[in-house]
Structure formats: C-alpha cells, structure tokens
Amino acid sequence: MINIKQFAFNPYRENTYVLFDESGSCVIIDPGMYDGNEQNEFVSFIKSAGLTPVLLLNTHCHIDHVLGNKFVFDNWGLKPQFNRGELPILQAIPGYAPQMGMNYELSPEPEVFLGESGQVSFGNSILDLIFAPGHSPAHLCFYAEADGFLIGGDVLFYNSIGRTDLPGGNHQQLLNSIRENLFILPDDTKVFPGHGPSTTIGFEKQHNPFLT
C-alpha cells in the first residue's frame, strides 16, 4: 500500500509529494522546497519516517514544480525523470526566474526520460504513466491503480483546470487530455493536484465548470 505525504511549498503553494510503501523506499514528485525552512521540514520528514528516496519525478517543468530538484540531487543523488518534451520548459527557467524575483538553483537534467505511457516502480509499488498535455507540452500524471489515486500535477484541480496561457499551453488540448485520459479512470479515483485540495474523478466529471 502506498502512503502519501503532501507539502505545500514556495510562494506558489505548490504541492510536493512523497510516496512510500512498507519497503521504506520512496519517490519524490515535484519537489518545490524553496527556502531553508522548507528544506529542513522536508529532510526532517524523510529522516523521521526512515525513508530512502529512490526516484525523483516531475509531472512537468514549470519553475514552481522543479525548485527543489537541485536540493534533492544534492542530498540523495537523484536526477529528475520526466517526459523529454518538457526539457525545453526546464531549460527556459534561468531566462525568466530573475524577472520573477525567484532564486533558481539549476536543476540537473535527466539521464532517464519517461515515455507517454508505461510504468515506474519503487519498493513494492507501481505507478502508471498517463500523458496529459495542455497545461504544458508533455505533462505526465502518475496513477496508482492498486491504491486508487492519481498525482495529477497541474492538469485537473478541485472545480478547476490548469492554466494554458504559459508557453506550450493549449486549452483545447488540456480539455481533451482530461476527458480522454483522466475521466476514463474510476469515479472514486482520488486526484492529488499540483495546487490546492484533493478531489475525485467522479466529482469533477459532475461539477467541474470547465468540463460539464
């Protein structure tokens, strides 16, 4: 069984996730820790829970989701894994971070790129890759079928959807991704998004104003 620890980090209150099972192995998804307090809070949890980070995953590479990539690499030697289509998004950050007033520590680039489908595994657990572009050009979600939840990044939110006015965004593509790739999941699938509270596939099918 996969356990989930959620943090809200950085000025964008981005949801950083740690997934772990009984093996003690864990995967870090979208590390957004920004200042010393957030870094300390994160390390303290990993140590107190007795976890060993074995994978660093990014749903996509907007700055708020990768601010902690360098920190994770420095502490646990993990390079991020994401779809290759997000690489230009990552490489663009140093050009715009100063204008945003953000101190950006350069993320390492992947040695392993993730496909548009397939699986990643850690400990005794498996996550399915779901390709859901639109908010960004090659956005991935991570689906734990056995445990009935989705780490959704910035695709689907409680009563909302990801913004599409950033480079590589496409509103119609995002709606198609949600309808064709996420709404086929069971209604009781819990969605843990990149910002804000969790929701379920069934609730969003019925109530999301962008999709009803």
Closest CA to 121 of 181, 55, 53: 55
Residues in a beta bridge with 5:
18
The residue behind tokens 């445990």 is 147
pLDDT digits (tens, 9 = 90+) for 203-212: 999 999 999 8
Closest CA to 135 of 176, 93, 163, 172: 163
According to the model, what pLDDT value does residue 27 have?
98
pLDDT interval class at 22 (50, 70, 90):
very high
Residues in a beta bridge with 33:
none
Task: Tell how far CA 121 is from the center of its chain.
Answer: 16
In angstroms, how far apart are the furthest CA atoms of the chain?
A: 44
pLDDT interval class at 148 (50, 70, 90):
very high
Q: Which CATH class is domain 3-207?
A: alpha beta
pLDDT digits (tens, 9 = 90+) for 149-158: 999 999 999 9
pLDDT interval class at 53 (50, 70, 90):
very high
| Summary mean pLDDT of the chain | 98
Q: Rounded CA gap, 208 and 60, in Å?
A: 23
